[in-house]
């Protein structure tokens, strides 16, 4: 299974073909997930006219929650990135922590994730 970051889903909601193709590719092969953080990021940007569409899309994914193990993993990631003098979004750290705790590969379009320097994050 893989975990998609909100950047992929946002592009899919904007009907970008490559994002839609990527999601469909993984749906055909396996179950896919997002994190509760990505769910929040997507829903906070939703308006009344598209909330049902977005909620329907999110129902197709497994949603990984933010638990104690994820907190500890996020702290490790944060310290590693900070030690390199890099600044990254706190939400990105939490998403990476959740994906790592669940031993999943995170797929994103957000180039800030390149600062995490791990093979378990794919920036596409």
- What is the pTM (predicted TM-score) of this model? 0.90
pLDDT by residue (tens digit) across 30-87?
A: 889 999 999 999 999 888 888 888 988 899 899 999 999 999 999 999 999 999 998 8
pLDDT of the residue at 80: 93
Domain ranges of the chain: 2-123
Q: For the domain 2-123, what is the CATH code?
A: 3.40.50.1010
pLDDT by residue (tens digit) across 17-33?
A: 999 999 999 988 888 99
* Tokens of residue 70, six digits: 């994820």
Residues linked to residue 63 through DSSP beta bridges, in sequence order: 34
Residue 30's region, left for phi above 0, alpha for psi from -120 to 50, else beta, is: beta
């Amino acid at each position: 299974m893989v975990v998609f970051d909100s950047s992929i889903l946002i592009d899919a909601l904007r009907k970008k073909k490559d994002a839609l193709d990527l999601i469909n590719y993984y749906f055909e092969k396996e179950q896919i997930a997002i994190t509760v953080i990505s769910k929040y990021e997507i829903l906070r940007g939703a308006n009344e006219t598209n909330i049902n569409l977005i909620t329907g899309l999110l129902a197709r994914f497994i949603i990984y929650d933010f638990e104690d193990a994820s907190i500890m993993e996020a702290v490790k990631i944060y310290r590693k990135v900070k030690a390199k003098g890099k600044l990254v979004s706190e939400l990105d750290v939490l998403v990476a922590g959740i994906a790592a705790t669940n031993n999943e590969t995170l797929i994103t379009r957000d180039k800030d994730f390149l600062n995490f320097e791990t093979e378990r994050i794919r920036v596409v």
